[in-house]
Structure 1
Amino acid sequence: MRWVVVAAIALGMLVIVPVGLGLLEAPGLRMLRKVWPPVAIVGALSLAMPVSSPAVGLACVYAVGTFVLAGTGAARFLRDRSFAPVDVAALTALVTPAVAGASLVVERVGGTVLGFGPKILLLTVAHFHYAGFAAALVAGLVAQATRAAPAARAAKFAALTVPAGTLLVLIGFFAGEVVELAGAAVLTAGMWVVGALTWRLRASVSDRAARVLLTISSVVLVVTMLLALDWALGEAFGVPKLSLTWMAATHGVLNALGFGLCAVLAFSRLSVASADRTHPVAS
């Protein structure tokens, strides 16, 4: 299981976060985009090494990068003072990698936090690259691209419930399985709305590759979030659920490749097209 999770995290560090940062705007973010690739390489290398002082040192470098990223989110909020759904989603995307960065350092130390050992910490690193950064980013982009009512109201709902669900899941790590289940339910509702709106959005996209990528990401969310909800129900009430290994192989892989990668690549293509004035989406 470990190497499946490590591969997903590396994909998040090396591809999904840097591509996603190109779709966001915040004070200081332009400079951070330039230095992110070496920071991400260092983070990925720390995961490839055995638990050791060098691995911890490299993880600390990556963690610092995520903290700086969170700082750009805070600077954006202080500048705009906006609680608009799109801005809440963007702030969540900028801040949540810091949770992954801090978890990475503790996991590389081989330690525990409030009883959570290295295995759970590694999954936390993955979770906050995808259910944190990628999910909030895409929810905000979908809301930004969806302007027609009543779909616009649904998009605003998703842009708020995805960050809220992510926060509840984080709180649930410490408060217990019932809170984590509530977070999973809220996050699932938000992501299913994102999936439905992405499916709707793809019909207006002229770029064939982007349309295919949007289709894949919307369909995958149906499966991955159902698995996440089932897992949370199993933890809270003992209903049958997949093992951690199978969750990594199904929910984790599909979320990384089918949702995260496909969605950010699609919106990146649409952003380039918009800049070239060939398509109005994601402007």
Structure 2
Amino acid sequence: MLVNLRKNLFSPVLLIGWVLIITCYLFSKQPDYLILLTFAQLVLVPAMLKMVVTFNKKGHVILIIMMLAVTLLHWLADSELAIYLAVVYVLYTAFIALHGLTRFLQRGFTNIAEISIDIGLIYIFIGGLWFFAYIAKIDTGFSPLITWLTAIHFHYSACLLAISIGLFGRIHKSKGYNIVVLTLLSGPLLVALGIAFSTIIEIVSVALYIGAIYWLFKLLMKTSLPRRQGFLLRISYGSLCLTILWSLLYAFGNFTGIILVSIPDMLTFHGLVNCLLFGLVGVIAWGLEVPKSTHQPFAFPVSRIRGKLHTIGDAHAGLVDALQNFVDTRKLPQVIPHFYEQTNCYRLIASVQWRAWFKPLAFIYHGISRWMQQLNLPLTSKQVEMDGVIVKVDERQDGRHSPRAWIRTIDEQTIFVAIYSQHTTAQTTYMNIALPLPFSTMIGILYVYEKDGELHITSSHGGDAGIYLAMKHYVFRLPLNEHFTICAKNETTLSAVHTMRIFGLPFLRIDYQIERKKDDHVRNC
């Protein structure tokens, strides 16, 4: 562990930060409280960054330039160079935020521990902007001290805490942890909004923040950790349980006019304890042993088609060659596998129902979808017939096994272009469906199972299942889920229900009546 500590806290780049912070502490003529933010800028944040981001030589050079700029500001804050040095710091924080965004685009809305780290990296950019506003003496509507306090808020309560709880999430898994993370990640913005616009918002956000901090400490106490690391983390998170009460007293004073804790008190106690006990002790704790990420990169095949599908081949019979490749069809009525294997033999009557809360968004989106001719669903719930054709797609163009496109229209207006394929991971075969979008492709990886004689197709399952967006070389999961339930009404008719959720909230339901065509010219039906 001590070897890890030397590597994580005393690497050559971080040694420069330590030397510079000592220099600022001993010789700076700036107010003493400014050292609290400088310590985060030169030591604490860079140390945490190096635990979660791999820097090349260019990255190390950027870190060193930032450290020198922050240090010089202790002597040049009132000179004409100050604003340029502050710009250097903002560019550095933008560089770090870009790393956070890149990390997120490699996964998307999955693995909340890693999302917490991503957001922590992005939050530092907001802190950088407030720091720039303080140095440049920009009128933010607040006093210079409040502007500086907002900057330090986004360095400690946002960046450092988000990365810390993300590292903790690599070890601890529970529903309670997920709630804690969502509360703490939204906390810095809510508190900042409260400070800016409403003391009521400030008090409520601080109260929620307090509950989440204490819950986090409770989860930590129940988690098995290496002895030294566990002891230090309990000090780090425990200090937050104490200092956050001062924030509540300060917010209460702003609301009632009864000053219980002043800003000088906050700087003396709240700021110093957070700096040393939460910040420094927490960084040392994680420096002893950095947990490895549990996220596994997505390895399923992804369609290479982007934008509109321009080249199509001959007609194809069905969405799949054999439904038994996905599920045991012996337990299903024969009409269900026949529909999937001979889809052109069926006609679809659909009723689209948008949830009331989502209708304004659906109305706005409708104009875009008509232009894209993709996901172009009607706004009315009136039953409409969807005409469809299935055609082959060139494997060399798509990149997946035996792709075929199901092109659905309503009154000759294209509403869906879905390119079906399949892949197998760990002996489970998934439907692999691509919906080409401008410069990207939406990917539905759907798990298929049978229950009580009904066929279920869902993205809400383990393994590869999910809805993703492929853009350039990034594949990231979207906060969407869908579920199909298909049942047989008789030997020639089926009913199907397609539901969709976003962030767990239902927003769309499509009811299908599927009937076998009776036209004499339809073959193999």
Q: Does 1:224 align with 2:224?
A: no
Q: Does 1:41 align with 2:63?
A: no
Q: Does 1:136 align with 2:162?
A: yes
Q: Does 1:197 align with 2:219?
A: yes
> Number of residues paired by the alignment?
265
Per the alignment, residue 297 of structure 2 pairs with: none
Q: 1:166 Cα shift?
A: 1.3
Q: In terms of mean alpha carbon deviation, does 175-184 or 41-50 score higher? A: 41-50
Per the alignment, residue 41 of structure 2 pairs with: 13
Task: Specify the code of the residue in structure 1 equivalent to 2:172.
Answer: T
3-state SS, counterpart of residue 68 of structure 1: helix
Mapped contact 2:153–2:188 kept (Cα < 8 A): no
Alignment partners' CA distance in 2, 1:185 and 1:224: 13
Mapped contact 2:130–2:151 kept (Cα < 8 A): yes
Deviation by residue 1:59-114 (Cα, 9 ceiling, x = unmatched): 1101110011112212222222125421331122111111221111121122321x
Alignment partners' CA distance in 1, 2:124 and 2:56: 14
Alignment partners' CA distance in 2, 1:44 and 1:121: 19
231, 237, 244: which one pairs with 2:256?
237
Per the alignment, residue 120 of structure 1 pairs with: 146
Per the alignment, residue 31 of structure 2 pairs with: 3
Greater share of strand residues, 1 or 2?
A: 2
Deviation by residue 1:111-143 (Cα, 9 ceiling, x = unmatched): 321x11211111112111101111111121222
Deviation by residue 1:198-218 (Cα, 9 ceiling, x = unmatched): 3444x5313x3x344223213
Q: 1:14 Cα shift?
A: 1.1
Per the alignment, residue 158 of structure 1 pairs with: 180
Mapped contact 2:121–2:159 kept (Cα < 8 A): yes
Does the C-alpha gap of structure 1 residues 51 and 184 become closer, same or farther in structure 2, counting only changes over 3 Å? farther
Alignment partners' CA distance in 2, 1:29 and 1:116: 39
Q: 1:224 Cα shift?
A: 0.7
3-state SS, counterpart of residue 53 of structure 1: coil
Which ranges of structure 2 fall in alignment gaps of 5 or more residues? Answer: 1-29, 295-525
Alignment partners' CA distance in 2, 1:132 and 1:75: 19
Deviation by residue 1:129-167 (Cα, 9 ceiling, x = unmatched): 1011111111212222113xxxx2222222211111112
Does the C-alpha gap of structure 1 residues 30 and 117 become closer, same or farther in structure 2, counting only changes over 3 Å? farther
3-state SS, counterpart of residue 267 of structure 1: helix
Does the C-alpha gap of structure 1 residues 31 and 139 become closer, same or farther in structure 2, counting only changes over 3 Å? farther
Aligned 1:77-156 pairs, distance under 5 A? 77-113=104-140, 115-147=141-173, 152-156=174-178
Task: Specify the code of the residue in structure 1 equivalent to 2:193.
Answer: I
Alignment partners' CA distance in 1, 2:170 and 2:258: 38
Mapped contact 2:180–2:215 kept (Cα < 8 A): yes
Which ranges of structure 1 fall in alignment gaps of 5 or more residues? Answer: none
Q: In terms of mean alpha carbon deviation, does 127-136 or 75-84 score higher? A: 75-84
TM-score by length of 1: 0.84
Q: 1:239 Cα shift?
A: 4.3
Greater share of helix residues, 1 or 2?
A: 1
Mapped contact 1:74–1:91 kept (Cα < 8 A): yes
CA RMSD of aligned residues (A): 2.5
Alignment partners' CA distance in 2, 1:127 and 1:30: 30
Task: Specify the code of the residue in structure 2 equivalent to 1:122.
Answer: W
Aligned 1:60-79 pairs, distance under 5 A? 60-79=87-106
Larger Rg: 2
Q: 1:12 Cα shift?
A: 0.4
Per the alignment, residue 264 of structure 1 pairs with: 283
Alignment partners' CA distance in 1, 2:183 and 2:155: 17
Alignment partners' CA distance in 2, 1:33 and 1:93: 19
TM-score by length of 2: 0.47
Alignment partners' CA distance in 2, 1:48 and 1:92: 32
Per the alignment, residue 185 of structure 1 pairs with: 207
